[in-house]
Every structure is written in structure tokens, then in C-alpha cells.
Amino acid sequence: MTFRSGIVAVVGRPNTGKSTLVNALVGRKVAIVSDKPQTTRSRIHAILSTDAYQIVFSDTPGFHKPRTLLGSRLNALVGDAVEGVDAIVLVVDAASGVGRGDRFVYDRQLANASGVRVCAVNKVDAIGHHALVPQLAAAGELGMFDEIVPVSAERGDGIGTLLELLVARLPEGPPLYPPGEETDQPLETRLAELVREQALAVTREEVPHSIAVVVEELEREDDLTRVTATLVVERDSQKGIVIGKGGATLKAIGSAARGGMEQLLGTRVFLDLRVKVVKEWQRDPKAMDRLGL
């Protein structure tokens, strides 16, 4: 039997559902998700292996016109992610409408790219059937695609079709990662992301963009894992919001994140969360280097 393998970069403007789509394609949660733009801050490899093929999906930050140094670095990650891949999936949002932001991504990331080009028209569950055809047509006008596939990453609609189309276009070759490997993300990074996901869920206004999370300590002993993590914000006012009245917000973040950690680690988790202010870290290259960004 012929074995196929390859790397598929998943790109798009912020908040089109790229990470939700990647999680749906691999059948498990690898990337965190939220309704806040710029949730993804690193290139995440999610690996799907079967007896017949292996696809390495490269989930990327939302490509946008940056206003900070962090934004510029995230855009650079997208550019790196599409270099030399076997296929690129441009994810567009049917619910908010295909438009100029998607054209911006196509022109910068797909227009001159080699490999297969696929457009996944996401969130079709949020629009009526009569509205789907115009969105598919608008997607087709963005540029040249080998396939245009309507999907709902949230509900799973069209995921099997998209997967089949990608597999059919993969080159023949051996697996790129050992069987059983799910991602190349370090464990500390995955745990930090689970904390940030919950912080994004409960904070408001400008705070989500200003939060970074670092796992300071990780100790595993029998059926208990001790995790110490620091939430980094840019201003004292943001620190107050993240902690909340009587520590209630920080406690809610920790409780929800602990559940995800226990599922990932298969042990009980003792989670110690702290909050630290690093002034304007999104514009400070040294601070971002320390935060792994």
C-alpha cells in the first residue's frame, strides 16, 4: 500500500477558526481556541497519523496588519510556515463574509506559493443555505485554488471531505514523525497555553492581547503534577483585572485550566498561578524573547 505524508499550513486572517479547524482535522485538541483575535501566537504542528498517511498540520497566527512588534513577529511566523509546504489551506469566515482581509492574506501568503492551494470556507453552520453560494463565489474570486470546501469546524461538517482532498494530493513518502506523536510543542508550552486559553475566556476589553503565560516549574510525582505558572500583563490595572475581586478571577482561570491539564497529563494537578507586570512587553523585543515570542 502506498503511504503518503506531507505538511499542510493552515492560514487566514484573525478569528476565522483556524485552530478549531486543525483540532477538528486531527480529531483532538492540540491548539487552544477562543473568540478573541490573535489567540494563536506560535506555529503549532498537529500530527495526524494513520496506517495510510501522515499529515502535519501547521496552525498559524492570524495574518493581519500589525500595530505592535508582537504583531510583526506573528506575521513573520506565518511567512515561515508556508515555506516549502505541500499544501496551504486558507480559512475564510462565511459568517462574517469573505472580503478584503482574506484577499490580503491570499496576496501575501498564497499568490506566489508552491504546492496545493485549498480554501476552507468555515462557519457555514452560521449562515443559511441561500447565503452559502455567494460566499463560495467570493472565495473563488480571491485567487487560484485547487479546491474550495465549505466546512463547519465547530460542528464537523465537511471535515471528512477536506481531509480526503488533502490526503489525495499529498506526495508519497515515509512518516515525518514517529507514530503516536501528536505535536512537537514542548509540554511546558502546552500547559502554559491551557492557562492562557482560560484567561482569554474570562478577561475583557484590551486585556486578552496583553496576557502571556510562562510555566516556571513542573514537577511530576506519581499521580500528582505540580505546575507553577506566571501570567504576564502590561499594566497594573490589567493585573487587577486578571486577579479579580478577592482573587476570584484568577481562581476561576486556575480551576478551568487545571481540568485541561489533568486531561492532558493523566494525573491530578496542583496549579499555582501568579500574575506579574512587564511594562509594554508587546513592544519590547527583549521581553518577548524571554517570553518565547
Residue 135 in grid coordinates: 460566499
| Number of neighbouring beta carbons within 10 Å of residue 74 | 23
Per-residue pLDDT of the chain (293 residues; tens, 9 = 90+): 789 999 999 999 988 999 999 999 999 988 878 777 667 777 789 999 999 999 999 988 888 877 788 888 888 888 888 888 999 999 999 999 999 999 999 999 998 888 899 999 999 999 988 899 999 999 999 999 999 999 999 999 999 999 999 999 999 999 999 988 998 888 999 999 999 999 988 887 667 778 999 999 999 988 999 999 999 999 999 999 999 999 999 999 999 999 999 999 999 999 999 999 999 888 888 888 888 87
Q: What is the 3-state secondary structure (H, E, C) of 106-140?
A: HHHHHCCCCCEEEEEEECHHHCCHHHHHHHHHHHH
Specify the residue for cell string 490580503. 104
Task: Identify the burial level of 168 via C-beta atoms within 10 angstroms of its C-beta, where 0-12 means exposed, 13-18 middle and 19 or more buried.
Answer: exposed
What pLDDT sits at residue 140?
96
What pLDDT sits at residue 206?
62
Looking at domain 4-169, its CATH architecture is: 3-Layer(aba) Sandwich (3.40)
Domain locations along the chain: 4-169, 187-290
What pLDDT sits at residue 76?
84
Task: Identify the burial level of 178 via C-beta atoms within 10 angstroms of its C-beta, where 0-12 means exposed, 13-18 middle and 19 or more buried.
Answer: exposed
What pLDDT sits at residue 1?
72
CATH topology of domain 187-290: GMP Synthetase; Chain A, domain 3 (3.30.300)
Distance CA 248, CA 253 (A): 9
Fold: same for 4-169 and 187-290: no
Does this model's pTM top 0.85? My answer is yes
Distance of CA 249 to the CA centre of its chain: 24
What is the β-pairing status of strands 147-150 and 87-93? unpaired
> Measuring CA to CA, how many Å separate 288 from each of 275, 278, 280?
17, 10, 10
